[in-house]
Chains A and B, each alone.
Chain A
Amino acid sequence: MKITQHATDTTLTLALNGELDASSSVLLDNELSKPEILRTQKVLIDCQQLNYISSAGLGVFISHLQTFQDANVKLVFFNMQEKVRNVFEILGLDSLMTIVPSEADAAAV
């Protein structure tokens, strides 16, 4: 699992590369737990290279969901592979989180 960051004044983009399982989700959790993240307006997750997400990986997003909402930070996923999107949908997360097709769509949210 590799996480690359790209930050602008208002937006933080995290590109996930690889499999988000129990061990790699700790890395992601560290990134999302940084206090400065709550000062941005939007956190964009680029899922183009994300091949697999385990329940531990989902748990990381779920655990930060409330904090982000309270701080008025939008969490947007884009470029999601069908397989991964299916996992989000089965769990019903698509009704809680914003999942859009492309980066342009994400920027427009």
Chain B
Amino acid sequence: MAVLRKPFSLLGIAALLSWLALLAAALLYAHPGLGGVPYSTPAGLILILQALFTAVVFLYERKSPERLRGVDFIGLLQRMLLGPALLAVSSVGLHQLLQMLLPDYTTGSVLHTVLYTLNVGLFVLLLARTNYAWRTLMLFRSSERLQRQWVAFELLLGATLLLRLLPYTPPAGLSAAVLGVLAAFGVYLSGRQKWVAYLSRRQKLEAVLLQLAIIGVMGIFVAYFLYTRLGFRMVGPAPQNAFLLLNAFFASFYALMGLLVTFFNLPTAGVFEQKREEILSMQRLTQLIQRGQTTAEVYQMFFDSAIQTTGADAAWLQIEAIDEEDRHDLYYQLPADQGSAIRGMLAEFNLGNLEYFNNDLSGGSFRQLQLPFGSLMVMPLSSSKRQYGNIYLLQEPVQAFDRESLSILQTFASQTVLSIENLQLIQASMRTQRVQDELKIASAVQDSLIPKNLPIDNWFEISSYAVAATEVGGDFYDFLHLPGRRLAVLIGDVSGKGVTAAFHVAQMKGIFHALMQENPLARNEREKYPVPSQFMTQANDALGRCLEKSAFITASLYIIDYEHGGFVFARAGHCHTLYYHSIKEEVSYFQTPGLGLGIIRHDGYEKHIKNQFYDYNPSDVMVIYTDGIVEARDAAQDEYGEERLQRMLEESYYLDADQIKAHILADLHEFTKGQPMHDDQTLLVIKFRSAQPEAGH
């Protein structure tokens, strides 16, 4: 059975059983020999059974789960009134009705006794419920000390229940003294009415009515017990009944005190509610930022809150717009021309953008504006960075605003400015984030332009190194296999850094692949592909139309013919080629003239570019690089330089291409240790080998 699962339901069953026992005893007392039972209850037993019943009911209520939900005090009172109180009052009403309608039948009848006993039971139940409801209210957010005091009160009251067991009646004076002391304790506890502060104005009104009803119910019972004549009395001012008396007194008195406290709190309820509203508005304002709302929403929120909390009849939020998107002016019951007139008037007195309030617009200079308002309050929205605007609040009566509302408005205004500036920060950081994301994409795109697979063949070794100083770089290199056992190698550097440079890199690569196509109109093998100087002239032509005026590109193009063991190259303003001649056992730079691309943009570039032919020998080493290598700086701001690079090759020419590169880089990194990288660095090492005949040749 469901009831048995809950331990306190045992108490409920015990209460029912003890009441039935009380009923039986009462019936046998009032009507001895009823139903053929040859027994007459002694008066003392009734009192003992009643005490037992009372104790069980009170214990049952004490163990019941907390009936208060959150701070729903009204609900607690309502449930109590509509539950046990209504039941008890109905039962009393029924008994009274029967007594009136059938006076002969009821008095002294069995039904009379049953109803009376039932009403006593219901009264005890109501008292228990009321007292424990009061406990809930009293101990709401209370101190430990008060809780201990309540337990003491309970114990003392419980002790009075035992008075019935005393074999003799104590002297009247002593009883009265005990009762008086306990009643005083109850009065003292009745002063604990903290819960009232948590009620809104409307709830306070409801609480007053509910408490009146509870007092009324208690009154009904007093009247009922006083006027119901019976052969015996289970409730009365005898010392034996001290417990019920004291409880009834406490229940009524606490309700009375609560009523008074609530009643006298009513006039101030409005202020409490306004404070609450202010706090809520502030919370809403703060939450708006967290939810990442727009500036317009923050202004709207501020405007609404300001009107609500100051009770303004008209208002204008004037925002100094920086651009069209920034127009957030808001009006409430105020024609725009009246707003401007007020603003103009204040500016005339040098009071624009200042905190201001005027509680009598009917006098002074404002009189001439003939506004239908008596009071004005102005609050600027400003931070150390910027003046955002002002809010104008108007009320029809004079003397409507006070210092208090001004300070609330000030708090709102500073919170709003904080929100707006936070929003701006968030938006700025989002923009930065987007730019960074785009740079990452650009970086990835550029990365895909760098040749991943170096050309592999048995006639050379090649090793590369490329690092960009920023996300996207201006250095580039590329390879292209041409028919006839030839390889085109391009290296270059776009002036400037960043995204613009990266675009030109992509462009340059496009030009490289476009120009290095077979010319179908070529008359002989040699003309099928442009020689480096032709390539540079055509590239200069193409770039001249799109490079900005101050930008230029340096590049070197090498076409290596390994069938014939030679190469041809042109240097368009790019760094000189470092070369190890194995025959001469000498390291030197190829000193060739050549102008950078995009410097002259008319015809005549071909005069500034030369082809250089060279027949290489096995074990020759070619080092090509960008200026990020030779212009790298050490702590003393000295440049790495061509001489040092040359020395590195002199030290390492006999090694593999990979090892030569590693040797140079180790020295370079040692040189620039601890210094930031200023420019992109690219380094290619090509080492020629004696060509091995390919399979099938």
Contacts and interface: CB of A to CB of B under 8 A. Distances in A.
Contacts of B608: 92, 95-96
Contacts of B601: 66
A80 B642 CA distance: 19
Interface string B596-609: 10011100000010
Given A55-B552, A59-B551, A62-B550, A92 B495 contact: no
A63 to B, nearest CB: 4
Contacts of A12: none
Interface in B577-627: 593-596, 599-601, 608, 627
A88 to B, nearest CB: 10
Interface string A56-88: 101110110110000000000000000100000
Contact of B595 (A60, A63, A83, A92): A92
A90 B550 contact: no
A65 B604 CA distance: 15
Contacts of B552: 55, 58-59, 62, 91
A92 B571 CA distance: 10
A1 interface: no
B657 to A, nearest CB: 25
B687 interface: no
Contacts of A83: 639
A46 to B, nearest CB: 22
Interface string B229-266: 00000000000000000000000000000000000000
Identify which of A22, A58, A60, A90 gathers the most chain B CB atoms within 10 Å of its CB.
Answer: A90
A3 interface: no
B554 interface: yes
Interface string A84-109: 00000011110110000000000000
Contacts of B600: 65-66, 96
B550 A91 contact: no
A91 B572 CA distance: 7
Contacts of B495: 55-56, 58-59
Nearest to A91: B573
A93 B595 CA distance: 7
Nearest to B593: A92
A65 B602 CA distance: 12
Nearest to B494: A55
Contacts of A65: 599-600
Interface residues of B, number: 23
A53 to B, nearest CB: 11
A83 B631 CA distance: 11
A61 to B, nearest CB: 9
A91 B595 contact: yes
Given A56-B495, A60-B550, A63-B550, A90 B599 contact: no
A95 B549 CA distance: 19
A87 B337 CA distance: 68
A62 to B, nearest CB: 5
Contact of B550 (A59, A92, A95): A59
A58 B294 CA distance: 47
A90 B576 contact: yes
Given A59-B552, A60-B550, A62-B552, A92 B496 contact: no
A62 B593 CA distance: 18
A56 B599 CA distance: 13
B476 to A, nearest CB: 15
B599 A55 contact: no
Nearest to A94: B593
Q: What secondary structure prevails in chain A residues at the interface with B?
A: helix
Contacts of B420: none
B493 to A, nearest CB: 8
A83 B627 CA distance: 13
A55 B551 CA distance: 8
A91 B596 contact: yes
B684 interface: no
Interface in A1-59: 22, 29, 55-56, 58-59
Contacts of B378: none
A92 B574 CA distance: 9
Given A63-B549, A92-B599, A56 B593 contact: no
A91 B496 contact: no
Given A56-B496, A62-B599, A90 B551 contact: no
Contacts of A90: 554, 573-576
Nearest to B548: A63
Nearest to A61: B550
Given A58-B495, A62-B599, A92 B594 contact: yes
A63 B495 CA distance: 13
A58 B573 CA distance: 12
Best-buried of B572, B573, B599 by chain A (most CB within 10 Å): B599
A57 B65 CA distance: 85
Interface string B3-39: 0000000000000000000000000000000000000
Contacts of A22: 496
Contacts of A58: 495, 552
Given A58-B495, A96-B595, A96-B599, A91 B549 contact: no
Given A90-B573, A90-B575, A92-B608, A56 B594 contact: no
A92 B608 CA distance: 8
A83 B639 CA distance: 10
- Which of B572, B575, B627 gathers most chain A CB within 10 Å? B627
A72 to B, nearest CB: 16
A58 to B, nearest CB: 7
Given A90-B575, A92-B573, A96-B600, A56 B550 contact: yes
A91 B554 contact: yes
Interface string B192-227: 000000000000000000000000000000000000
A63 B599 CA distance: 8
Contacts of B594: 92
Interface string B488-525: 00000101100000000000000000000000000000
A68 B315 CA distance: 63
Given A55-B495, A55-B496, A93 B599 contact: yes
Nearest to B554: A91
A90 B576 CA distance: 7
Nearest to B607: A95
A56 B549 CA distance: 11
A59 B551 CA distance: 6
Across the A-B interface, the 9 shortest Cβ-Cβ residue pairs: A92-B595, A59-B550, A55-B495, A63-B550, A63-B549, A91-B573, A91-B596, A92-B573, A62-B599
9 contacts: A22-B496, A55-B493, A55-B627, A60-B550, A62-B549, A62-B599, A63-B549, A91-B552, A92-B599
Given A55-B552, A92-B572, A96-B595, 4 more contacts: A58-B495, A92-B608, A93-B596, A95-B608
